[in-house]
């Protein structure tokens, strides 16, 4: 028979278990705790800068990405006065567009072009304007609407860029030597913005090949800036929703509608309550989908900077207004048909060639163009390889520590790019991949005189 003391102890134990279970059931989760604590400060504003760095119809997907991003932010409650859009604006009414005045970003997607502000279009889509807008420097802006990020200390900023890239640089529509976005310059702009005390936190998403190289070893962790990139510092990113692949665009479209990383984060944003999804949760979902089932046709989404920001909800940067959640039926983690960003133009030309009537002038002209582009790419590859042999012999230059910046002397890299384009011609979107070789040459301590002589000699042999 149980003694009174044992009975009392059993009752006390049951009471403790009940209290603990009740407390656990009503205690918010760790994620919910972060959500309740990390919210935009009172009287703060969320700003956004959206940049499509390309032009021409075969690059349709970049402007489609940017337009889709605008629609997400608009539905989230951001005002047009706080969203600044850079896009060349040449594809909606391009003769090849089967739906004039309309841009879509997925096979059954709605028009994402409607209502998009035309802040900086055509020749005003330049690096200098991008920097001036981000810094809130109205006097430095040339052309365009003149709208800038006039942010204040409590404000948040969302930046999204989509285009071609290469090790250490991002493209802009002119593809002019003087208009690349170099990693060190961009990081300096971010440091200047932080030093000015004109924002609370910033989130940056970048779609481009080797986009990790823009931040790896360069972005300090104390700027209150959180970044995710479509790829690491050494791999390509991928176009998707392309003709002949799965899933394809509507049959009348001979172009890729989106980019794998970009459609992954945007279709996630469309299908989730962003007030309950953290940046980290979105990063993990996008990372999984962009890896494309661990295939060779996928990339590693990376994150850099102030990683504590990832605990915040996506709504802090993409808007918290109540909106209709609309899951795209193509939003799937199944393997996606994709094309290397650098090969999309030729791929689309070949797709078009196959559909044209044999022997027509149009088909012959297109074949000639395909051959010219293919030959120029072979010339670029051969020229760079010859320069490398002249300056580095059979090696690749010094091995950099893992996580290091691409190059130490960025002026040297810029000189090498400028010298190559002076003597050899434009790198083009395809040739941007060769900046890693140029960086290796700089890291080897090669003199500028030797670079100039080797480049001149190499390219004159092909002319």
Q: What is the DSSP letter of 124?
A: G
User: How many angstroms separate the first and last alpha carbons of the chain?
Assistant: 105
Residue 44 contacts residue 155 (beta carbons within 8 Å): yes
Q: Is the dihedral of CA 312, 302, 88, 436 positive or negative?
A: positive
Tell the residue number behind the tokens 């360069």, with chain if given. 218
Active-site residue 62, yes or no?
no
Residue 341 contacts residue 164 (beta carbons within 8 Å): yes
For residue 247, whether the previous peptide bond is cis, meaning omega lies within 30 degrees of 0, is yes
C-alpha pair distances (Å), 135 with each of 52, 70, 129, 131:
19, 20, 10, 6
Long-range contacts of 187-194 (CB under 8 A, 24+ apart): 187/214, 187/215, 187/218, 187/219, 189/131, 189/134, 189/135, 190/134, 190/219, 190/223, 190/225, 191/220, 191/223, 192/135, 193/134, 193/135, 194/223, 194/224, 194/225
Please tell me the distance from the alpha carbon of residue 144 to that of residue 147, in angstroms, as a whole number: 8
Catalytic member of 209, 412, 424, 442:
209
Q: Give the residue ranges of DSSP H helices in 1-142.
A: 4-26, 30-37, 60-75, 127-135
- Nearest CA to 45 among 14, 8, 76, 11? 76
Tokens of 413: 């890299």
Catalytic member of 68, 164, 423, 434:
164
Please tell me the distance from the alpha carbon of residue 45 to that of residue 7, in angstroms, as a whole number: 61
Active-site residue 459, yes or no?
no
C-alpha pair distances (Å), 324 with each of 69, 93, 272, 273, 279:
16, 29, 10, 9, 20
Quick one: three-class SS letters along 166-207? ECCEECCCCCCHHHCEEHHHHHHHHHHHHHCCCCCEEEEEEE
Tell me the Cα Rg of the chain: 25
Please tell me the distance from the alpha carbon of residue 204 to that of residue 202, in angstroms, as a whole number: 7
Quick count: other Cβ atoms within 10 Å of Cβ 103? 24
Note the residue count of the chain. 463
> Which residues are marked as active site?
164, 209
């Amino acid at each position: 028979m149980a003694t009174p003391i044992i009975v009392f102890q059993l009752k006390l134990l049951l009471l403790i278990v009940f209290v603990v279970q009740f407390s656990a059931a009503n205690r918010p989760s760790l994620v919910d705790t972060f959500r309740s604590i990390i919210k935009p400060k009172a009287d703060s504003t969320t700003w956004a800068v959206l940049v499509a760095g390309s032009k021409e119809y075969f690059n349709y997907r970049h402007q489609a990405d940017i337009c889709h991003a605008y629609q997400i932010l608009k539905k989230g409650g951001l005002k047009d006065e706080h969203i600044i859009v850079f896009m060349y604006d040449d594809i909606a009414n391009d003769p090849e567009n089967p739906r004039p005045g309309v841009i879509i970003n997925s096979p059954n997607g709605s028009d994402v072009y409607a209502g998009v502000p035309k802040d900086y279009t055509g020749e005003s889509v330049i690096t200098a304007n991008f920097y001036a807008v981000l810094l809130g420097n109205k006097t430095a802006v040339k052309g365009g609407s003149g709208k800038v990020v006039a942010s204040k200390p409590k404000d948040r900023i969302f930046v999204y860029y989509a285009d071609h890239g290469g090790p250490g640089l991002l493209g802009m529509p002119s593809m002019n030597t003087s208009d690349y976005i170099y990693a060190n310059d961009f990081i300096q702009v971010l440091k200047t913005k932080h030093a000015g005390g004109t924002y609370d936190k910033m989130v940056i998403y970048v779609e481009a090949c080797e986009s990790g190289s823009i931040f790896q070893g360069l972005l300090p962790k104390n700027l209150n800036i959180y970044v995710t990139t479509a790829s690491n510092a050494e791999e390509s990113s991928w176009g998707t929703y392309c003709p002949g692949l799965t899933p394809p665009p509507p049959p009348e479209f001979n172009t890729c509608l989106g980019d794998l990383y970009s459609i992954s984060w945007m279709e996630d944003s469309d299908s989730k309550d962003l007030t309950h999804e953290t940046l980290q949760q979105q990063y993990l979902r996008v990372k999984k989908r962009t890896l494309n089932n661990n295939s060779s046709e996928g990339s590693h989404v990376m994150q850099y900077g102030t990683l504590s920001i990832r605990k915040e909800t996506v709504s802090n940067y993409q808007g918290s207004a109540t909106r209709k959640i609309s899951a795209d039926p193509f939003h799937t983690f199944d393997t996606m048909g994709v094309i290397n960003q650098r090969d999309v133009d030729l791929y689309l030309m070949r797709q078009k060639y196959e559909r044209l009537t044999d022997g027509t002038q149009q088909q012959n002209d297109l074949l000639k163009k395909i051959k010219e582009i293919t030959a120029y790419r072979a010339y670029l590859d051969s020229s760079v390889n010859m320069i490398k042999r002249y300056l580095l012999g059979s090696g690749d230059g010094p091995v950099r520590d893992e996580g290091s910046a691409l190059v130490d002397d960025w002026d040297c890299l810029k000189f090498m790019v400028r010298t190559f384009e002076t003597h050899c011609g434009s790198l083009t979107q395809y040739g941007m991949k060769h900046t890693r070789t140029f960086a290796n040459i700089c890291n080897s301590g090669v003199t500028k005189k030797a670079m100039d002589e080797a480049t001149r000699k190499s390219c004159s042999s092909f002319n």
